[in-house]
C-alpha cells in the first residue's frame, strides 16, 4: 500500500496520459484505456468516467474469465495505470459476461508446465493481489455471476461487494475440492472479512456459497437483482467517494498493511513453496482429474 501511495503522489497524470496513450474526451464521455502490449488481446476493458472519477473495469476473457498469466499481467498493468491517474478515485470491478464473474485461476496454467512457468504465473497472481488489495482507490466488486477461488479472492480484495441475488451464482474459496490448498494470503484476506471460524470451515471444506448464503456470512455486503448490480455499484461508489480521500486511504492502509506486509516479506519463499507444491505428481494428478471432470460435465 505504501508503495502504491508513493506511485500515486509522484506520477503526474499528464505523464501517465503521455506514456500510456490515455485518450481524454469531453466531460460526459467514457475513456478507453488501450494497452500497447503486443501479446494483449484486451481481456480487460477499462472505462474511466472523467466527470465522476470512477473507472469500470470489465473482465472479458472468454469463456469464463479464468485468470491466465496473460490475463493477470494485463489486469495488473490496467490497475496500475488507474492507480497513478489522479483523475481516478474509484474502481468498479465486474465481468462482461452474464453468469460468470471469474472462474478463478486458470487451471491449465498449473498443469503440465515448467517450474519457470509456474514461478512466473504465481508472481503474477501475487502482483494482482498486492495491487488490488493495496489499492488507494475505492474498489467495489460488482459480482454479476459465479466466482470460485481466485475469482472470490479478487472480489474479496475490494472494499465492498455487491452480488446478483441469484441462488445459482456461487462464490467461495473451493481450493480443497481441487486437492490444492489456499495460500496463507488468500486465507488472511478471507479472515479479514468473515472472521477466523467461518474461514477455517470454508477453507477445509472448499465451500462454495450461493449468493444468499454468502450474504448471510458477510462474504458479500449487498444482494441486488441482477439488472441492478451495476447501478447499485455506482450509487454505493458515490457514497464512498464522499469521504475525503486522505482519511479513507490512511484508514484502509492501517487495516490492510499488516496482511500485505506478510506476503511482501516472503514473496520469494511463497513462489518457491507454490512451485514445489504444484510440481508434485499427486497434485498434478488431482488438477488433471478436476480439469477432465470440468470438460466432461457437458
Ligand X SMILES: CCCCCCCC/C=C\C/C=C/C(=O)SCCNC(=O)CCNC(=O)[C@H](O)C(C)(C)COP(=O)(O)OP(=O)(O)OC[C@H]1O[C@@H](n2cnc3c(N)ncnc32)[C@H](O)[C@@H]1OP(=O)(O)O
- Applying CB under 6 A, the span of 53-61, 77-85, 106-114, 239-247 interacting with ligand X comes to 106-114
Q: Which residues of 184-220 are buried (b: 16+ CB within 10 A; e: fewer)?
A: ebbbbbbbebbeeebbeebbeebbbbbbebbbebebb
| 26 near ligand X, judged by CB under 6 A | no
Within 10 A of 150 (CB to CB), how many other CB atoms are there?
23
Q: Which residues contact 13 (CB under 8 A, 6 or more apart)?
A: 84, 85, 86, 87
Minimum distance of ligand X from residue 166's CB (angstroms): 13
Show which residues are catalytic: 105, 150, 174-175
Please report how the helices 267-278 and 245-264 are oriented relative to each other, as an axis angle in degrees rounded to 10. 50
Q: Please, which of residues 109-168 interact with ligand X by CB under 6 A?
A: 146, 148-150
Grid cell of 20 as nine digits: 500510456
Q: How far is the CB of 276 from ligand X (least distance, A)?
A: 8
In angstroms, the first-to-last Cα distance of the chain is 43
Q: Confirm or reject binding of residue 169 to ligand X (CB under 6 A).
A: no
CB of 105 to ligand X, least distance (A): 3
CB of residue 222 to ligand X, shortest distance in Å? 22
Among 46, 48, 180, 271, interactor with ligand X by CB under 6 A: 180
What grid cell was written down for 101?
A: 464473474
| 188 touches ligand X by CB under 6 A | no
Mark residues 65-84: x for contact with ligand X by CB under 6 A, - for none. -x------------------
Looking up cell 458477510 gives 218
Applying CB under 6 A, the residues found at the interface with ligand X are 63-64, 66, 100, 103-108, 146, 148-150, 174-175, 178, 180-181, 183, 273-274, 277, 294-295
Amino acid at each position: 500500500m505504501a508503495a502504491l501511495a508513493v506511485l500515486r503522489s509522484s506520477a503526474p497524470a499528464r505523464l501517465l496520459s503521455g506514456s500510456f496513450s490515455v485518450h481524454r474526451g469531453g466531460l460526459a464521455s467514457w475513456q478507453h484505456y488501450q494497452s500497447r502490449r503486443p501479446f494483449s488481446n484486451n481481456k480487460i476493458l477499462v472505462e474511466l468516467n472523467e466527470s465522476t472519477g470512477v473507472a469500470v473495469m470489465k473482465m472479458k476473457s472468454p469463456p469464463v474469465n479464468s485468470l491466465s498469466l496473460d490475463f493477470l499481467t494485463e489486469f495488473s498493468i490496467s490497475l496500475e495505470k488507474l492507480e497513478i491517474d489522479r483523475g481516478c478515485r474509484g474502481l468498479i470491478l465486474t465481468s462482461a459476461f452474464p453468469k460468470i464473474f471469474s472462474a478463478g485461476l486458470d487451471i491449465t496454467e498449473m498443469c503440465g508446465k515448467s517450474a519457470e512457468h509456474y514461478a512466473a504465473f504465481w508472481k503474477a497472481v501475487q502482483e494482482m493481489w498486492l495491487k488490488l488489495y493495496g489499492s488507494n482507490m475505492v474498489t467495489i466488486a460488482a459480482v454479476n455471476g459465479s466466482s470460485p477461488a481466485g475469482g472470490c479472492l479478487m472480489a474479496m480484495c475490494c472494499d465492498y461487494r455487491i452480488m446478483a441475488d441469484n441462488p445459482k451464482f456461487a462464490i467461495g474459496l473451493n481450493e480443497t475440492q481441487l486437492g490444492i490448498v489456499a495460500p496463507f494470503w488468500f486465507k488472511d484476506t478471507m479472515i479479514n472479512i468473515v472472521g477466523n471460524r467461518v474461514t477455517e470451515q470454508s477453507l477445509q471444506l472448499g465451500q462454495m456459497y450461493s449468493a444468499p448464503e454468502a450474504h448471510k456470512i458477510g462474504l458479500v455486503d449487498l444482494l441486488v437483482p441482477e439488472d441492478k448490480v451495476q447501478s447499485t455499484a455506482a450509487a454505493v461508489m458515490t457514497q464512498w467517494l464522499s469521504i475525503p480521500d486522505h482519511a479513507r486511504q490512511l484508514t484502509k492502509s492501517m487495516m490492510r498493511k499488516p496482511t500485505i506486509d506478510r506476503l511482501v516479506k516472503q514473496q520469494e519463499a511463497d513462489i518457491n513453496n507454490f512451485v514445489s507444491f504444484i510440481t508434485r505428481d499427486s497434485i498434478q494428478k488431482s488438477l488433471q482429474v478436476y480439469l477432465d471432470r470440468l470438460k466432461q460435465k457437458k
